[in-house]
Amino acid sequence: MSSDAELGPGASDEAFAALLAAELAPPERGVDEPFVARVALAVVEAERYRRWRRRIAGQLIGEAMVLAALAASLAIIARAEAVQAVLAEAPELAWPAALPLLLIWLITRRAPRTVV
């Protein structure tokens, strides 16, 4: 610690605060390289995960819209009198008739892209 001569009776509060801060300050040390690398990697991975989540959410919304459109078209087709008459006679034909709609959905699906 400093001598009493440095802080005499006429010393100001600022001088005392500066001396106290200098004496109580932690020693200087170098940068912790492994910690910095881990934090940088965590930041990169967090951003990559956010991009992946946004892409997946967009894909889910798009596929939900396609499925809703297909279901609406199936409901409209099923309201036709000719279709109702055929399905009343042979209800087991409903599923094979819906297979082309499944094929359309499979064709309209986008292939998943990888995020790097």
pLDDT, tens only, 33-60: 999 999 999 999 999 999 999 999 998 8
pLDDT, tens only, 60-105: 898 888 888 888 988 898 889 988 888 888 888 888 877 887 787 7
Q: pTM of the predicted model, to two decimals?
A: 0.49
pLDDT, position 56: 92
Q: DSSP readout, the chain? A: ---TTTS-TT--HHHHHHHHHHHHSPPP----HHHHHHHHHHHHHHHHHHHHHHHHHHHHHHHHHHHHHHHHHHHHHHTSHHHHHHHHH-GGGHHHHHHHHHHHHHHHSPPPPPP-
